[in-house]
Amino acid sequence: MRYHTHIMTSLAVGACIASQTSLPFTVSYAAGIVIGSLIPDIDEPNSYVGRRSLGMANKVKQAFGHRGMTHSLLVWAVIAIVLLIQSPSLFSYGFIIGYLLHIIEDFFSVQGVPLFWPFLTKRYKSIVTYRTAGLLERVIYYISFGMFVYIAVSRDLFSEFTQSVIVFLQTTIQRLM
Ligand SMILES: [Zn+2]
Q: Rounded CA gap, 156 and 173, in Å?
A: 27
**Residue 19 CA, ligand 1 centroid: distance in Å:** 26
Cα of 44 vs centre of ligand 1, distance in Å, is 8
User: How many Å lie between the centroid of ligand 1 and the Cα of residue 99?
Assistant: 10
Tens digit of each residue's pLDDT (9 = 90 or more) over 112-136: 999 998 899 899 999 988 888 889 9
Phi first, then psi, for residue 102 (nearest 5°) are -60, -45
Whole-model pTM: value is 0.90
- How many CA atoms are closer than 13 Å to the CA of 102, on its beta-carbon side? 29
For 7-45, what is each residue's pLDDT tens digit? 999 999 999 999 999 899 999 999 999 999 999 998 888
Question: H/E/C letters for each residue in 124-140?
Answer: ECCCCCECCCCHHHHHH
Q: Which of 6, 16, 7 is nearest to 152 (CA)?
A: 16
Distance 144 CA to ligand 1 centre (A): 18
Residue 52 Cα to ligand 1 middle (Å) = 15
